[in-house]
Structures are given as C-alpha cells and as structure tokens.
C-alpha cells in the first residue's frame, strides 16, 4: 500500500504539517508507504484550458503537478491537506488539483481520497467539502473519520493542543488504511466495477 500526501501550506512545519504527521504515525504502524509533497511555496499556475493534456497525457505547464501525477498513478490513496483561507482551500492547492485531475488519463477508480483542513477557527467544513469534489467526480471512495476532517490552530504549533483534532487524524488514517486493504482484496477477488460507455450531456436544447 502507498499513499501520496500533498501539503499545500507555505509553512512546512506548521499546523497543516502537524495534522499530516499524526496520520503518518498510523501509516508507519500499519506498514503503509507514503510520500509527502510540499507545494505551498511553489508558483502553481492555474489551468490554461488549452486541451493539450488530452493528447499529451500530461500537463503542458511542466511543474510538480506532473511529478506528483506519476506517483499518484501508482498509489492506493491520496491525502490533500490545506490551511483554510476565507473558508476555502488555498489557491495553490486548488490550481494544483484542477490541473492534475484533468490532465491525468489513468483510471482513479477505487483509489482512496482523504482531505483535511487546518484553521484558526472556522471554514474547515467548507474546505473539506471543496476538496472532496475532486474525489467524487473520479470514482474515488472518500475516507471519513469520526468528524469532518480538520484541526485547529492559529500560531505555528498550536494544533498540537487540539487533542480531538489529532485523534481525528489518527482515526482518518486508520479508516483509510482499512479501505485501501479492503479494496485491494475486493479487486483481487472481483475486479473493478464494470463501466458503461460515458454519456455526456449539457443543458442547451435547440428546437
């Protein structure tokens, strides 16, 4: 089993990292490989909507999006973690995920997705909802914990005092590991669900 973790905080040792590290404790205990990518200080451009990725199979803006995508293809799960800005994930992560999910042609079905937010006070649930949209459209089961996945802390290191938040991260990691193992067994016995040919419709009619 392998998990890819994206930390979009510009503070590599900040409260978002504390949440991630609490999950890593579980991954180590359960012998799950993991790889952390810190993108918070990168200049991540937004999607150009050029369509080149549909023929190339990768994003034409050649940065860490393509690097992470290669590891994501081989992984069983993806954790995306963000500080909360104005009740949203930070812009770098949203741009990163938009480009990675649209530019990668590989099947993401049954890879496990988990999202977490770190906030001083509010906005965790809206950030959680925002990030889970990437998993839902991709056939990826969403790992849940004992609450909506988030941790509180303002100043660097304060998240260590959020004992419930730390427990949420451990629960989330344990549930994620269980799902990855269960799906691996299911794939071995039953294979992936059969897919119909995709139907695409819009809401414009010409009479």
Entry pTM? 0.94
- At residue 201, the pLDDT reads 87
- At residue 204, the pLDDT reads 76
Residue 116: name the closest of 82, 166, 159 by CA: 82
- At residue 202, the pLDDT reads 84
Taking residues 8-33, what's their average pLDDT? 97
Distance CA 72, CA 69 (A): 5
Q: Indicate the angle between helix axes 91-103 and 64-74, nearest 10 degrees.
A: 60
- At residue 207, the pLDDT reads 61
pLDDT in tens, 24-41: 999 999 999 999 999 999
pLDDT in tens, 152-206: 999 999 999 999 999 999 999 999 999 999 999 999 999 999 999 989 888 777 6
Residue partners of 19: CB distance under 8 A and separation at least 6 = 81, 116, 118, 150, 151, 159, 165, 166, 169
CA–chain centroid gap for 33, Å, is 16
pLDDT in tens, 68-85: 999 999 999 999 999 999
> What is the average pLDDT value for the chain, to the nearest integer?
96
């Amino acid at each position: 089993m392998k998990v890819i973790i994206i930390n979009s905080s510009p503070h590599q040792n900040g409260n978002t990292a504390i949440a991630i590290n609490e999950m890593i404790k579980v991954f180590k205990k359960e012998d799950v490989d993991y790889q952390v990518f810190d993108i918070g200080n990168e200049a991540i451009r937004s999607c150009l909507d050029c369509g080149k990725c549909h023929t190339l199979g990768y994003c034409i803006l050649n940065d860490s999006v393509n690097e992470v995508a290669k590891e994501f293809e081989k992984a069983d799960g993806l954790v995306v973690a963000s500080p909360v800005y104005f009740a949203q994930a930070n812009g770098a992560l949203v741009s990163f995920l938009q480009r990675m999910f649209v530019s990668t042609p590989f099947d993401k079905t049954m890879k496990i997705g988990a999202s977490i937010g770190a906030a001083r006070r509010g906005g965790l649930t809206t950030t959680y909802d925002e990030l889970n949209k990437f998993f839902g459209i991709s056939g990826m089961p969403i790992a849940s914990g004992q609450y909506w996945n988030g941790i509180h802390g303002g100043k660097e290191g304060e998240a260590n005092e959020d004992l419930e938040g730390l427990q949420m991260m451990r629960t989330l990691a344990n549930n994620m590991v269980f799902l990855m193992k269960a799906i691996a067994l299911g794939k071995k016995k039953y294979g992936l669900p059969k897919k119909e040919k995709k139907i695409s419709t819009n809401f414009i009619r010409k009479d």
